[in-house]
A and B are shown apart, each in its own frame.
Chain A
Amino acid sequence: MSNDRAHADSTHEHPSWKQYKWVALWLTLITALEVWAYYMPAFVASPMYKPAILVMMVIKFAIVVMFYMHLKYDNKIFRVLFTGPLFIAACTLIAYVFLFAYRPVG
């Protein structure tokens, strides 16, 4: 089996040049929005700041993984190999933060 064939087996249709540039534009816009939010003292002080900025982080993360790493188009085995450890890692991180870093107000 040639490398051509192997590559074709493991991958499907990839985004076009135009789509890649749109993805880059969206990533740039979301990053600009994050930085803009950081410089809004009233918004930073509000309880909405952290959830909003975390949601933007997750969106950027997902965009890169789905479109640039082609996980949206690739074989399901790769999806499992990535999302499985990512899920464990995320759960571990959240558990550590709540166990050791959470300090109730008052």
Chain B
Amino acid sequence: MIVANAAAVASGAHEAHEHTHYTTTSLDNRKIAIWAFIGSECMLFASLISTYLVYKGRSVVGPFPHEAWTSPAGQLFKPILNIPVTSASTFVLLMSSLFMVLALAAVENKGKPGYEGLQGSSKFWLLATALAGATFLGFQAYEFTSFVHEGLTIRTNLFGTSFFTLTGFHGTHVAVGVLWLMTLLFIDIRRGLGPADAIIVDICALYWHFVDVVWIAIFTLVYLIK
């Protein structure tokens, strides 16, 4: 659907502008919609995080997030969370938010003094954001794979179920964001994004930053609180 929309926007940007609807508040309806969507997403992630917290410490069998565990068969399981790796992926996601605002600033100010070269290159910043998002997903794939190798799956215990559901939902949101960013990059390469298109980049940026703030909460509540 995103790609189909991208093709429509890329081929008929002016027609798309004519069909934009505005509300009585004089605000763009798409921006109101994305904020309403983000509000609903707050509730979705709050339910997932509260499920994780309610089940925290109630797993009957290991592996556990912060404590070592010896199985009845005598096998020793280390604490499963890898804080250094997750800290690196958190840093990458935080930097992706910086790249995203720089991409939006480049689109909004295209052609203005002070926005020449790299500073005004929306293509570069959109690509950097998408690459940072893809890197975060790579870290998550590594983490999930290593957990499975260490004996934790979504069916192992309550921790595994709530952890994989929460972080899996977040990872899916990041993947959708990366696709969205690649779509904007495609449009930018095809016809160029200028100040008139700032709203479509702004909407994507809001989604991307929301994914970032959700991770800020997950990183603290899941990884850092023992």
Known: A7-B202, A85-B42, A89-B43. A96 touches B35 (CB 8 A): no
**In the bound complex, CA of A8 to CA of B97 (Å):** 22
Q: Does B49 contact A (CB under 8 A)?
A: yes
B8 on the A face (CB < 8 A)? no
Question: Do the beta carbons of B87 and A31 come within 8 Å of each other?
Answer: yes
Complex formed: what's the CA distance from A88 to B159 in Å?
25
CB of B38 within 8 A of chain A? yes
| Interfacial residues of chain A within 65-101, with CB under 8 A of chain B in the complex | 65, 68-69, 75, 77-78, 81-82, 84-86, 88-90, 92-93, 96-97, 100-101
Could you tell me if A60 and B216 are in contact, using CB atoms closer than 8 angstroms?
A: yes
- Picked from A17, A69, A85, A101, the residue with its CB within 8 Å of the CB of B56 is A101
Query: Is the beta-carbon distance between B28 and A85 smaller than 8 angstroms?
Result: no
Interface size class of A (residues with CB under 8 A): 35 or more
Q: Which residue of B lies closest to A90 (CB)?
A: B46
Cβ B98 vs Cβ A92 within 8 A: no
Q: Is the CB of B50 within 8 A of A92?
A: yes
Judge if B141 is at the interface, Cβ distance under 8 Å: no
**Minimum CB–CB distance for B13 against chain A, Å:** 9
Chain B residues whose CB sits within 8 angstroms of the CB of A90 once the complex forms:
46
**Known A20-B102, A88-B43: A82·B26 in contact at CB below 8 Å:** no
B199 touches A3 (CB 8 A): yes
Q: Please give, as numbers and ranges, the residues of chain B lying within 8 Å of A21 by CB-CB distance.
A: 98
User: A46 an interface residue at 8 Å Cβ cutoff?
Assistant: no
Q: Is A105 an interface residue (CB 8 A)?
A: no
Q: Which of A31, A50, A53, A54 neighbours the largest number of chain B CB atoms within 10 Å of its CB?
A: A31
Please report which residues of chain B, range 88-134, place their CB below 8 angstroms from some CB of chain A when the two chains form the complex: 90-91, 94-95, 97-98, 100-102, 105, 108, 119
A92 touches B39 (CB 8 A): no
Proximity bits, B23-62, A CB within 8 Å = 1, else 0? 0011110011001101110110111011001101100000
- A81-B97 contact in complex given A3-B197, A64-B213, C-beta closer than 8 Å: no
Q: In the complex, how many angstroms separate the beta carbon of A12 from the nearest chain B beta carbon?
A: 12
* A7-B108, A61-B213, A64-B212 given; 18 more Cβ-contact pairs under 8 Å: A3-B17, A3-B198, A7-B28, A7-B199, A24-B94, A27-B97, A31-B219, A34-B224, A38-B83, A61-B217, A69-B206, A81-B35, A82-B38, A84-B39, A86-B42, A89-B42, A89-B46, A96-B50
In the complex, the 3 A-B pairs of residues with the closest C-beta atoms, listed nearest first? A85-B39, A89-B46, A57-B220
What are 29 A-B residue pairs whose CB atoms fall within 8 Å in the complex? A1-B22, A2-B196, A6-B20, A6-B28, A7-B195, A7-B202, A9-B28, A14-B108, A17-B119, A20-B105, A24-B94, A31-B91, A34-B219, A34-B220, A39-B83, A57-B219, A64-B97, A65-B213, A68-B209, A69-B205, A77-B27, A77-B35, A85-B39, A85-B43, A86-B42, A89-B46, A93-B49, A96-B50, A101-B53
